[in-house]
Structure 1
């Protein structure tokens, strides 16, 4: 038995409140590699006011993580993440968060769990929406629908990218990023990492997501958070702290 509760599909989970301040915003920015030159994201006294990286939406989402039954979390693998921004984050405040499991598909040896998380302001104006897909290893075989097959986007052949940005992570990147709330020992403890099948602690997937979103923000939005509307990734491999991340993009005209 996988412990996965199939009856959760379509049920809205109770609303949760995520409260944060400028320190949380700055800590997140540093966790995804922000430098001293990016003062608008790391200094609360900056002219024009502190700005919040759009990918910060992945932080309040955690308080609304849905109930999935008696599952084994080490077997729950992050597959895809889409963040859609409706309203700019204030540098501090409270966000109302709730989630819903929209589908659970049977892939044979695994299940695909799709979750939508919504964040609202106190007047219930939408701030963000996140669509997340998880693979639950050993959770398939229950006779459900297989669901759609999605192919990864492939870059155009023989066409150079319109932009290419490389950021180097630091050896302590995961140690810093985990302070934003994801305290999974897989990302800092050697024994836990080896138990999870890794040779050493790995970088959080949502940390590498933040690095890529940061590259997109500067390459396509000139650093203007109001222009950043939506960003989706598929996680296909692990990243180790200290490695470099390159984000390339082709503009679709």
Structure 2
């Protein structure tokens, strides 16, 4: 069954209410591979309850309604779906425990043409369940590589801008543990593409690939660490394009352009394979004085 544009565009999603706490924060960070050096305090801060900090990109696993593209009435060939882009706007830093409501809408479905796939753009607003305050807005572009040619619009939301031509100012290498995808999926994204070799081969990969949002979280950790050990609560925006698969066991290199101090640009590569895997990264950090004034 091909994509029915009007039906899918108007698809309704039930609100997802989720309570979370320190154990969930720790599990998320362990799924990224943090804690592999027990003597590294910068990693320990995210995986140890004494002085625990929440990595802001944990927002991507909160209020998540699951891998809905797998449902038969979507018309999507779910085995062909890969993550194209992810954006995050943080309106108020998340605490290490709370109760949140995820509210998802489909913003657009872009038809790239027969044989070129479809781009499904969604937005998930994350609200404090008790107060109704908007905490974060998450945007996502899921590329369904087998579903173009259904007659939808040819253009959609804009992508992150290109990176500077100059060499990066800093870089940080991070070794991804071989079991990272199997741990990360316990935070809610159970797409078998990241666990089952047979499903991975069916999708055109020789083995299970890492979740795009796992490499996204690693990139955020690396960026904060390179930005003079920035307080994670300073992160206000984190956008990226996924350009190639990452595999568990890869060494991920995050390259950073410091820009004007508030806005930084970044990308991630896997030097051993000579490939850029996260591209056109754009992040915004609040001024430290702003954080001090609101703390």
Calculate the TM-score normalised by the size of structure 1. Answer: 0.89
Unaligned runs of 5+ in 1: none
Counterparts of 1:228 and 1:221, CA distance in 2: 13
Describe the SS at the equivalent of 2:139.
strand
Distance 1:34 1:223, change over 3 A: farther
In structure 2, what is the equivalent of residue 115 of structure 1? Answer: 122
**Match status 1:179 vs 2:186:** yes
- Residue in structure 2 matching 1:245, options 252, 256, 269: 252
Alignment of 1:76-87 (within 5 A): 76-87=81-92
The answer to whether the 8 Å contact 1:65/1:99 transfers is: no
SS, match of residue 206 in structure 1: helix
Give the deviation of 1:33 after TM superposition.
Answer: 2.2
Partner of 2:169: 162
CA distance in 2, matches of 1:149, 1:124: 27
CA shift, 1:97, in A, is: 0.9
Give the C-alpha shift of residue 171 in structure 1.
1.3
User: What is the distance in 2 between the residues matched to 1:66 and 1:169?
Assistant: 27
CA contact (8 A) 1:75 1:137 kept: yes
RMSD: 2.3
Q: 2:270 corresponds to which residue?
A: none
Match of 1:43 in 2: 48
1:145–1:184: structure 2 CA closer, same or farther, 3 Å change rule?
closer
Structure 1 residues 11, 179: CA separation in 2 closer, same or farther (over 3 Å shift)?
closer
Note if contact 1:15-1:64 (Cα within 8 Å) is conserved in structure 2.
Answer: no
42, 54, 57: which one pairs with 2:56? 54
Q: TM-score, normalised by structure 2?
A: 0.77
